[in-house]
Structure 1
């Protein structure tokens, strides 16, 4: 086999090789070499790790544990803040609608003597009306009351008769006449056997009224009622109490008595700004211990 002449390989078949009769006439085709891109070696890729069984559950437990610890810390910080600054987090004052009592839910065994320095509390429903040490005077015949005089308080007020309204509650004297006392005409007259009831306002919208200082009366104080028959029924205070209007001591105030007694009633305690009324009543209990004529009382 001979070597191809210079310039014949490539292109062209090797020198001395038979020519394919199917080739077209003309110069032989020029064959261009195919240049392949260089092969760049790739860095080995590490295989992905297999998921560990229960790993998602462990992660969730970690998140929940962290949240629980954070919540406990928040609560502890809040408690420390409230304890260190109680006035900042305290409930708003509601003293305007709170009843005054000697002790929560407690009632005194008897009506107190009243007077400065003595708390006015409500006695138990079974407690009797308090009476003074002086012996009682003999009851008088009925006579309409005319004036009420309380020397200690400087009270000298006219008396009118009052009844009950359509709800069965006692009527009170007109608000525009603060120095006026109402006598409940459904009960005994002052000086007659039984408890006579006199009502008066503590104050009005603009000023104090006839019974504004009623709570200052105490055991042994004197009260006078001038009657239309010319007699003066003299009463001596036996005690003073402050009772809730919701648990008013009806029997102690209106119950029958053997001797002539007197009840002075006004509002007291805490003022409810929502309803516009006091929550309690101040009640003075007295018994008639003497009688006089009008000329001697002047």
Structure 2
């Protein structure tokens, strides 16, 4: 069973099963859909009373009353419509179509960036996309996905990254682990998800800094749309990814679906810390997330 990423159910626990000594599962959320039981009416002990005959109304009386009600309603409705038209004409700005796109019909800009996600780069502000915005990917053809193979090295020439990769899982709280803090030049690959080059989003993490120096992803925020990232795999292939956008997200509203959600093509997520450093908790307030698409592959050079 695939281990869920942060924000989902605890590792190895099927959804909707009762907890027990064997770790069978966790109960459904308390905010799940309530079940309404049918109301059972008591049986009738006596036969229902028979309806009493009612005197017939005078001929034409009911029809005339109904006609008057319908005419009155039509007049009231017409007056309401006319008043509404007058108000809209006199206040056009208040009734203009909203410029904000419906979340269910979100339009991705031509550059492929999700709404409100910055392209990255030096001096470019990074923001957080709306909850159900798609992952920002470059407008380039995706390379065919590869078979699974453990990632061994991450190379990002633009920001001077050339680091080995180790696998990480989940901690006891169900949150994704990070590489050891005492190794500043080490990247962690989340082994509960796809490998780099395999169909789906491969997730890698690295520290921004340590207690004494900067770390492997200290310059991650400098990446921009169109930059390339290379991942050397155990099978001797190099997966080449192209950056589509960068997001700085509050850790309290981490975009779990956008980062870990399903993808038909081979994609990559690089995650580090960002935002303000909280001296009380000892952690940064935000995450910086790079989204990239695999746009090419090649064979790694072998030593002769």
Looking at structure 2, the residues matched to 218 and 296 of structure 1 have their Cα atoms a distance apart, in angstroms, of 30
Once the two structures are TM-superposed, the CA of residue 296 in structure 1 deviates from its matched residue by 8.3
- For residue 301 of structure 2, give the secondary structure of its aligned residue in structure 1: helix
Q: Does 1:164 align with 2:170?
A: yes
Q: CA deviation at 1:295?
A: 1.1
Aligned CA distance change for structure 1 residues 141 and 120 (closer, same or farther; 3 Å) = same
SS in 2 for 1:126: coil
Per the TM alignment, residue 273 of structure 1 is displaced from its structure 2 partner at its CA by: 0.4
What root-mean-square deviation, in Å, do the aligned CA atoms of Structure 1 and Structure 2 show?
A: 1.3
Deviation at 1:110, TM superposition (A): 3.8
In structure 2, C-alpha distance between the alignment counterparts of 1:132 and 1:268, rounded to whole Å: 23
Contact kept in structure 2, 1:111 and 1:129, CA below 8 Å: no
Report what 1:14 is aligned to: none
* Aligned partners of 1:111 and 1:127 also within 8 Å: no
Which residue in the other structure is 1:250 paired with? 256
Q: Work out whether 1:132 is the aligned partner of 2:138.
A: yes
SS of the equivalent of 1:295 reads coil
Q: TM-score, normalised to structure 2's length?
A: 0.61
Answer whether contact 1:191 1:288 (CA < 8 A) is retained: yes
Q: 1:114 aligns with which of 90, 112, 120?
A: 120
TM superposition shift of 1:118: 1.6
Match of 1:274 among 237, 259, 280: 280
Q: 279, 290, 294: which one pairs with 2:296?
A: 290
Aligned position for 1:56 = none
Superposed CA deviations along residues 215-262 of structure 1, whole A, max 9, x for unmatched, are 000000000000000000000000001000000000000000010000
* Residues 116 and 127 in structure 2, CA contact (< 8 A), matched pair in contact too: no
1:237 aligns with 2:237: no
Q: 1:277 to 1:185 in 2, by over 3 A?
A: same
Q: Give the alignment partner of residue 154 of structure 1, picking from 156, 160, 165.
A: 160
| Conservation of the 8 A alpha-carbon contact between 1:110 and 1:127 | no
For residues 130 and 112 of structure 1, what CA distance do their matches in structure 2 show? 10
Please report how far the alpha carbon of residue 126 of structure 1 lies from its aligned counterpart in structure 2 after TM superposition. Answer: 1.4
Deviations, residues 83-122 of structure 1 (Å, cap 9, x unaligned): xxxxxxxxxxxxxxxxxxxxxxxxx834221112321111
Give unmatched runs, 5+ long, in structure 2. 1-113
Residue 264 of structure 1 and its aligned partner are, at CA, apart by 0.1
Quick check: 2:165–2:186 contact (8 Å CA) kept in 1?
yes
Structure 1: unaligned runs, 5 residues or longer: 1-107
TM-score (norm 1): 0.63
> Which of 107, 123, 129 is matched with 2:129 structurally?
123
State the 1:176 CA deviation. 0.5
* Correspondent of 2:199 among 193, 198, 201: 193
- Supply the distance in 1 between the matched residues of 2:229 and 2:134 (Cα, whole angstroms): 21
1:1-298 → structure 2 map (5 Å cutoff): 109-295=115-301
